[in-house]
Amino acid sequence: MNPGELEVLVALARSVAPKTVIEFGVNEGRTAKALLANVKSIERYVGIDVPQGYVTEKIVQRNEVPSAPGRLALDDPRFRLIVARRGSHDLDFDDLPKADFAFIDGDHSDAGVRTDHALAMNRVRRGGMIVYHDYHARGTVDVKEVLEEKFVNGCDLKHVAGTWLAFWKR
């Protein structure tokens, strides 16, 4: 994450006081560790990632595949890690709990963003929030393009100025 974005993410999570959180693309668990430490309402946290050796579609993400997914948060009893061969592409709605907050920072390909968005939309309750990372116009990932299409089709997305974060309050 860029400087200041983790603090913004914590503030967004606190604004909905989530009991259950889902993170798509947990990586080594830095964000999970920070949210679990700073958002006191969290009772359950599910992090999703891919195994070491996975080859991402987006070249820019190939160095981001974690060697030890979730390792920084594994000591917290509220944290549950799901490692699937193709990450969230291998999951169905029923593989995930209903949640109050989702953070999407996994596969940034067109198909990946759409998959994670669909899973989050199905799992995040009304009054909850979905936050997306890597909303930028650098052309290296498909997050902004997919989200702008969702916005045109009625998804009330908001960009957090000065960050690569966008969110949707359900």
Query: Using CB atoms within 10 A of its CB, is residue 100 exposed (0-12), middle (13-18) or buried (19+)?
Result: buried
Instruction: Record the pTM.
Output: 0.95
CB atoms closer than 10 angstroms to residue 79: 23
Nearest to 85 by CA among 65, 114, 110: 65
User: What is the helix (H) or strand (E) element at residue 44, kind and residue range?
Assistant: strand 44-49
Q: Per-domain residue ranges for the chain?
A: 5-169
For residue 127, the SS3 value is strand
Domain 5-169, what fold? Rossmann fold (3.40.50)
Confidence check: pLDDT of 6 > 90: yes
Measured in degrees and rounded to the nearest 5, phi and psi for residue 117 equal -60, -45
pLDDT digits (tens, 9 = 90+) for 114-141: 999 999 999 999 999 999 999 999 989 9
